[in-house]
Amino acid sequence: MNWRCAFYRWVARLLVKWIAPRAFKSSSRFSQIESSKWSRINWQENENRSRIWFHAASAGELESLWTLIEETYLQTSAELIITIFSDSALKPLTTLCSKLRDPGRVLFSGFSPLEGVWEKYLLDAKPNVFVTAKYEAWPDLWVSLSRIGIPLVIVGARARSSLSAVKKLCRLLGVQLPELIFTTQLEAQNLQLKELFPTADIFLESDPRWDRVKNRVLISNPKVEQMQKVISDLPRPWGILGSAWAEDVRVWSCVDPSLIQGTLWIVPHHVDPQSIAEIRAILEQMGLTIILSTEMTEAKASAPPISLAEDQRVCIVVNEMGFLAELYRLGDWAFVGGGYGAGIHSTIEPAVHGIPIAGGPNGAHKFDEIEDLIQTGQFTLIHDAENLSRWLQNLPTGVAQRFQWQAQTQSRLGSADRILKAVIWPLCKLSAPKEHDSL
């Protein structure tokens, strides 16, 4: 190791040890991996099994890798290492690992090493390939992968500043880049990545989250079915504001009420009493009759459906969590929240149902699927109440359009299988699926 790498690692470890824990006091992320089960694992290599390290920065990246991990577990005998960086991915990781029933093949799951110590852990694990998502890039990780000779696969890659910065830092540290393989969703990103990394292999392929979401919504949700029975007679169209914040609802309050036809559904991002009360106050000022989803009990499900007076306008507020992706199935259109504050939430969840979608601008540039959906006409970016009014006036209602969008969704499915067979498994000399049980 040259002196520049050694110095960078020393500085990185110093920052991790002293500064990061103080900057992120509420996070358990900065507990040391050495105190975990890692040190108790027998890392002896098994010549009959390949080894793949999957790493997700946060919950969103884990969603992209989820189907890749499941299918690798089901169809091969590979040993898996699954790590995360953010606390937000801890609960989903626990859920995922609970489905992987052979504990001997999931060698480790938990928080990743921190910057400055990657090489030690990679030398312990000796994976055949390291797989991550989006634009996750750490200089010490790339340096370590290069020095050991481990290929790096980035799924759903984009030519973001983090990738450019880590390339420059590797050059500054005097280390060659690792073997790089990218998958990306858009032709424009393909060209930008090729310009940034001329020697990388780049595959144009949809995000595996499409497979993940589609698999989830195929499973019926009893709560959704119950609500559908209770409000079956409420007027159509049904519009769903998913992952809504108060900022999103305020934009809607500036729209002429006559443009909001049918029944409005609000699924807040936070369902604590304060958040619900804030959203409810805005809706009541709009003259809407509020029905809370928790009021739709089993007793009401067996009662006659809700009926309204002729001039009564209703809004269903879903003040509970866990079934938004399934709920979108009931909608005739969807508005995805977060785009006027922290950042827009998942547009794939409503898109798989072939309905028109809109959302605010904040964070929209981060997601290639939004650009893809804009190009197909399924998604509209809403900057203000005037844009929203225009969108509501021109909502597509034709069955043919919805079938077209559903067909486009179908063309995006299967990307996980294609990425595994064309990109990841060949690096591990994996090809023939093993006999397996379903999860």
Query: What pLDDT is attached to residue 307?
Result: 56
Alpha carbon separation from 149 to 80, 168, 270, 424 (Å, rounded): 18, 19, 44, 15
Q: Contact, 284 vs 290, CB < 8 A?
A: yes
Q: What CATH homologous superfamily does 221-412 map to?
A: Glycogen Phosphorylase B; (3.40.50.2000)
Cross-strand partners of 242: 267, 336
* Number of other CB atoms surrounding residue 344 within 10 Å: 24
Short-list 127, 65, 128, CA closest to 416 = 65
DSSP run (H or E) holding 334: strand 333-336
Within 10 Å of residue 305's Cβ, how many Cβ atoms? Answer: 13
Q: What are phi and psi of 358, to 5 degrees?
A: -140, 170
- Burial of residue 282 (CB within 10 Å: 0-12, 13-18, 19+) is middle
Strand 333-336 and strand 289-292: pairing?
unpaired
Contacts of 297 (CB under 8 A, 6+ apart): none
Four-point Cα dihedral 207, 210, 211, 213, nearest 10: 140
Give residue 438's pLDDT.
41
Considering the domain 3-206+414-427 in this protein, what is its CATH number? 3.40.50.11720
Domain with CATH 3.40.50.2000 in the chain: 221-412
- Using CA atoms, how far apart are residues 129 and 68, in angstroms rounded to an integer? 13
Give the residue carrying structure tokens 């949809």: 206
| pLDDT digits (tens), the chain, 439 positions | 788 888 988 888 877 777 666 655 544 555 556 556 787 888 887 777 899 999 999 998 999 999 999 999 999 989 999 999 888 898 999 999 998 877 678 999 988 988 888 999 999 999 999 999 988 789 999 999 999 999 999 999 998 888 999 999 999 999 999 999 999 999 999 999 999 999 999 999 999 999 999 888 878 788 888 888 888 888 899 999 999 999 999 999 999 988 988 999 999 999 999 999 999 999 999 988 898 988 875 445 555 555 555 566 889 999 998 889 889 999 999 999 999 988 999 999 999 999 999 999 999 988 999 999 999 999 999 999 999 999 999 988 778 888 999 999 999 999 999 999 999 999 988 755 554 444 4
The one-character DSSP state at 401 is H
CA distance 415 to 377: 22
CB atoms within 10 A of CB 262: 15
Long-range contacts (CB closer than 8 Å, 24 or more residues apart) made by 411-416: 412/206, 412/207, 412/210, 413/206, 413/210, 413/211, 413/214, 414/211, 415/183, 415/205, 415/206, 415/207, 415/208, 415/210, 415/211, 416/67, 416/68, 416/71, 416/208, 416/211, 416/212
Alpha-carbon distance 241 to 266, whole Å?
5
Indicate the residue type of 62.
L
Dist. CA 350–CA 372, nearest whole Å: 14
- Cα 290 to Cα 176, 237, 284, distances in angstroms: 60, 17, 7
Domain with CATH 3.40.50.11720 in the chain: 3-206+414-427
* Cα–Cα distance, 192 to 6 (Å, whole number): 32
| Residue 121, Cβ density class (10 Å: 0-12 exposed, 13-18 middle, ≥19 buried) | buried
Q: What is the DSSP annotation of 279-303?
A: HHHHHHHTTPEEEEGGG--HHHHTS
Beta bridge partners of 379: 357
Helices (H), ranges, 273-384: 273-285, 298-301, 324-327, 348-351, 368-375
Single out the residue of 169, 159, 142 nearest to residue 193, CA to CA. 159
